[in-house]
Structure 1
Amino acid sequence: MSLKDAAAQEAYLRTLLDVIEVAYKAKRDEVQQLLDQAAAETGTRQIAITLPDGTEVAKTSLTSGSAEAKVTDPDVFKAWVLEHHAAEIERQFVTSVRPAFAKKVLAELTAVGGTEWPDPETGVIHDVPGVAIAPARARGHRVSFAKTGRDAVMAAWRTGQLAGVALPELTAEPIRCSRCQGEDGPFTDAGLCEACARPIP
């Protein structure tokens, strides 16, 4: 293959990739919104995905988000540790909380889902400053394909079952050149016939 042909194919594929990426992100957002709505209204957390002929190819499942304790103000957190657990402060050129202690406190706060920490040595319950419970992973969903699901989707795409369902602008009836449908037929703006992929005469 010549450089010219290879570069042209790269440009064509990049164009298709851009269109597909935008459409995919928009559809994923729509599915997430509908899944959240279905979960709230009916408790539905999973749906089967089928081809137009009824063949099941995958399942879409709602995934739960999670939250964990994070230090949001290191100086305030360090001042609290210095006052109540000075032995957990590492003194170097600058003072810092020992990573093991910070990890322990944050893990315990994550487990209870709040910033109140019961000191195991004194029994005092501290509302730990400089720490907040923040989302670690947003709620989302995943698509789990059946063993032959991807192959079935590709076969359906090639045979036209998905025309008008997925990216209809890419699966519409091809615009044919004069060799394919007569002198007065509409042509693609790209300069190539969408049916035979030859330059339009």
Structure 2
Amino acid sequence: MGGASLFAGILALPLTATVVTAQPASSWFPVPADAIYLTGDSWSDGDRTYRLYGVQACLRGTSFTNGHGLKRDCGEASLAMLVALVRDLRPQCYDAAESPQLRTVFVFCLASPNKGAAAGSRIDLGTALISTGFAFSALKPDGQPVHAPYFVAQLVAQRSKVGLWAFADVPDPNAIILRALRQPLAAPGTGRSDGKEATP
């Protein structure tokens, strides 16, 4: 599995519970056309990373089996959907919280389409990703949702088997991250949590 992707997911979980600081009201801004998409819930612009608050994308390096029996990277599927929705919806975002140590800004993004079936409505980008089944509701280290409305959207998508939920072996990123958080750390140089040397 992609270590960087798991590391980013593990870092984000505690941040949502403790390190994140609330931001004063900010002005709205678009996702830049030249943004570099990192995951299915984040992008970078300059020296800053922007991450959708309360959203957890599938982790890169984890896979699911598609309808043709082929293994596909789950993180790449989440990323492709984020790029497509940003391109099509052109949402405006605002800062919800920030982790200065990691130079990460957590954002909510909304779109207000003026044509098509969604004309006149407001679409939350996080809800769109989760309700289409291409992202998940992020969880705190205690297993509770970071943003409860996103958890409801996930339950509906899961029951409806839309997006990634259509595949029986879709890897739940929250389960992977929470399991990694709960595993004891190995003692330095031993590869084991009890400090004893590993035997060949």
- Please state which band the TM-score falls in when normalised by the shorter chain: under 0.3
TM-score by length of 2: 0.23
TM-score by length of 1: 0.23
